[in-house]
Amino acid sequence: MPEVHVYMAEGRTDEQKKNMMVDVTDALVKHLDCPPDAVTVQIIEAKWTEKMKGGRTFAERYADKTPSGYRARLTD
């Protein structure tokens, strides 16, 4: 049965994560013709200091773009 792992930086609300998982489940049900109970969606979160892109951690990438640092970007 389908299983999806979503890797992302921490900071989204539980509601945002649940809504995303529902949408992913719905897409798999629609396109793979499987029952919702057969679908597993798992989120794997990393701290912004433990996720890197382009040689800079997410904390470094966004700290210089907001006055209060990267935490201000968590709701963007």
- The residues carrying an active-site annotation are 2
Distances (CA, A) of 36 to 28, 31, 51: 8, 12, 31
CA–CA dist 10, 39 (Å, integer)? 23
